[in-house]
Amino acid sequence: MEFIFLGTSSGSPTKQRNVSGLALKSSRRKSWCLVDCGEGTQHQLLHTPLALSRLSAIMITHVHGDHCFGLPGLLASAAMAGRTQPITVVAPAAIKGWLEHSQQMAETHLPFALNFIDVSQLNSPVMIDAFEISTTALSHRVPSFAYGFAEVVKDRALDVDKLKAEQIPAGAHWGQLQNGQDVMLEDGRRLLATDYLLPPRKPRYIIVGGDNDSPQLLSQKASQADVLIHEATYTMDVADRVGSGPQHSCAKQVAEMAEQSGLRHLILTHFSARYAYSQASQPNISAIENEAREAYSGQLFLANDLDHFRLNQLGELSLINQTCD
Amino acid sequence: MEFIFLGTSSGSPTKQRNVSGLALKSSRRKSWCLVDCGEGTQHQLLHTPLALSRLSAIMITHVHGDHCFGLPGLLASAAMAGRTQPITVVAPAAIKGWLEHSQQMAETHLPFALNFIDVSQLNSPVMIDAFEISTTALSHRVPSFAYGFAEVVKDRALDVDKLKAEQIPAGAHWGQLQNGQDVMLEDGRRLLATDYLLPPRKPRYIIVGGDNDSPQLLSQKASQADVLIHEATYTMDVADRVGSGPQHSCAKQVAEMAEQSGLRHLILTHFSARYAYSQASQPNISAIENEAREAYSGQLFLANDLDHFRLNQLGELSLINQTCD
């Protein structure tokens, strides 16, 4: 599984950070999913290997503009590029009418269908692209959701040690067993495929949160996830000064929940523009990092725009940034 | 008068060119006007000296998304930055309802008023910011307009030669005359201010066109303008291949009209993404330049994103790019 951050700023873009957007894909496929689509998401995509023609689904966490105002332009550009394949859109219901109004106003016609799913009605997991998608209701000024991306593991490895111990020779039989077919050997032995397949590996599972002032809502799911991507708009001192109005998380809150859940990989994003990108300015983004590290002992990342991560089959997370320019 | 190109691409953004947007201001004021607001316009502004707090008016040429999809995000960012001053919006009527729907959908409230003017009802010039704004209906798939920005010249220079010839000594009298006040000299002579003021200089006049397949609609106004900024989406060969559907201009059409009108300064913009930015690729943007130069003998520019121009009081146009990063 791979994902690329298209925007890591809260509310408004800065010179270094666009507003929210995250591309996520199976390493085996060319198709990909987009979580949130702030203004300028299509611009960011120009700096990645991802093509609009391969976009299979868009998930919107909530209706605030910094998470969805890029939708009309992105869809229009997909149309101009000649796309005809439908796109699945999972989003709050109000997005649907607004998208229709945007197309009507601009007198543009999309030559592909939007298969719209109201996120508030998504009560059980659904297969989209390569993933089983599940949602979690969060706490924000408007209904906001986290999207869980769980891979579906179909392939099971052969138990080669057992085959060798039982002196079953390598060859066509092994391939049949791996494909789940039972086998009759020449010596009369009948082999059941399930006896010679190792248990399926643990499916990888990534949670992408929307805006949320209550990270503990994700505690249970985070305990099962390989990666949690969550907003940390402020440090705690700033969150206290700002007050409860904006309903965002501070780094400490998220880090404490991640620690308690035993989460292996935490990626923070959606930073207030007050935290300078440059270490030479105050306050800068290291204030958020330091606060999170104090409470969290797992692998921590603070996302930057165009950061490209890979989560391998062993559940190891790495940054592979050379693919974006 | 100064102006900065915020986007010079047609339809979709490229790595080098954003979709349409142009900032225009009086050099004497900090306030400024925006013509068109494609997606990503607010991002481009971050690389200019212009602040959203000083934006006084937005003019939209037509409803296509590459000219207006940046409006909801730009207005939201102005709100988040604490703006309370109203903004004048001159635009096709459909923009108003769409903006209201966008704010309602995103559950955002603008803490400033939008003073909306339906461009199709703007039958006579109106003062906005430092300029007398007039419109010209163009020819495109949807109603499209050019906006004329004419400065209002109030200051008139003293006719110093005449004052000296009549032996009127320099001093407070000169200042009174320049302010339009008549003067009684100690020797009994009564001086009428209008007799000692030179004719006002020619007001500068810049026309910013919207999408348009019939440049000749601007012939008469171009003959009075200092600068015409006009789309040249294609070269003629490509325009012929594309056919009449998109209703855009080719470089030759615009250049011929400009030549016939005796226009001094022509700036082309809104280039199809097929014309590469790099000279190493084919076709590249020099194809449009070459086609225009063949037909036009005035000063020609092909706009690039963040190009910053100044038109001085003598009507001389220059590129002063060091102000943007």
Strands A55-59 and A87-91: parallel
Tell me: pLDDT of A215 over 90: yes
Phi, psi angle pair for A255, to nearest 5°: -65, -40
| CB contact (8 A) between residue A106 and residue B47 | no
User: Residue range A126-139: average pLDDT?
Assistant: 97
CA distance A18 to chain B (A): 8
Strands A299-302 and A265-269: parallel
ipTM given for this complex = 0.93
B80 CB neighbours in chain A (<8 A) are 11-12
Domains located in chain B, CATH noted = 2-155+200-323 (3.60.15.10), 160-196 (no CATH)
Residue B64 marked in a binding site: yes
Distance CA B69, CA B55 (A): 18
- Give residue-wise pLDDT tens across range B188-229: 999 999 999 999 899 999 999 999 999 999 999 999 999 999
Amino acid sitting at position A191: L
Would the CA dihedral through A234, A240, A245, A250 be positive or negative?
positive
| CB contact (8 A) between residue B76 and residue A69 | yes
* Residue A271 DSSP one-character state: B
Q: How far is CA A178 from CA A162, A166, A185, A271, B148, in A?
A: 13, 16, 15, 47, 73
B105: Cα separation from own chain's centroid: 32
**The two three-digit tokens of residue A132, written as one number:** 């089983």
Please name the residue ranges forming H helices in A106-248. Answer: 160-165, 172-178, 219-222, 236-242
**The two three-digit tokens of residue B187, written as one number:** 């020797």
- Give residue-wise pLDDT tens across range B73-92: 999 999 999 999 999 999 99
Distance CA A90, CA A115 (A): 8
Give the residue from chain A lying closest to B325, CA to CA. A15
pLDDT of residue A42: 98
Average pLDDT, chain A: 96
Amino acid sitting at position A48: T
Cα angle for residues B302, B307, B310 (degrees, 5° grid): 100
> Of A69, A77, A101, which is closest to B101 when you measure between CB atoms?
A101
**The two three-digit tokens of residue A262, written as one number:** 């035993």
- Give residue-wise pLDDT tens across range A146-175: 999 999 988 888 999 999 999 998 988 999
Burial call B195-215: b when 16+ CB within 10 Å, e when fewer: ebbeeeeebbbbbbbbbbbeb
User: Is B240 an active-site residue?
Assistant: no
Please name the residue ranges forming H helices in chain A. Answer: 41-45, 71-80, 93-105, 160-165, 172-178, 219-222, 236-242, 251-261, 286-295
> Of A14, A72, A98, which is closest to B46 when you measure between CB atoms?
A14
- Give residue-wise pLDDT tens across range A38-93: 999 999 999 999 999 999 999 999 999 999 999 999 999 999 999 999 999 999 99
A15 CB neighbours in chain B (<8 A) are 46-47
Give the residue from chain A lying closest to B46, CA to CA. A15
- Give residue-wise pLDDT tens across range A161-214: 999 999 998 988 999 999 999 999 989 999 999 999 999 899 999 999 999 999
> Of B43, B63, B105, which is closest to A105 when you measure between CB atoms?
B63
Tell me: pLDDT of A324 over 80: no
B142 CB neighbours in chain A (<8 A) are 107
Average pLDDT, chain B: 96
On whether the CB atoms of residues A95 and A60 are closer than 8 A, the answer is yes
* Residue of A39, A83, A233 to mutate, testing the B interface (most B Cβ within 10 Å of its Cβ): A39
Amino acid sitting at position B231: E
- pLDDT above 70 covers what percent of chain B? 100
A152: Cα separation from own chain's centroid: 15
Distance CA B69, CA B181 (A): 50
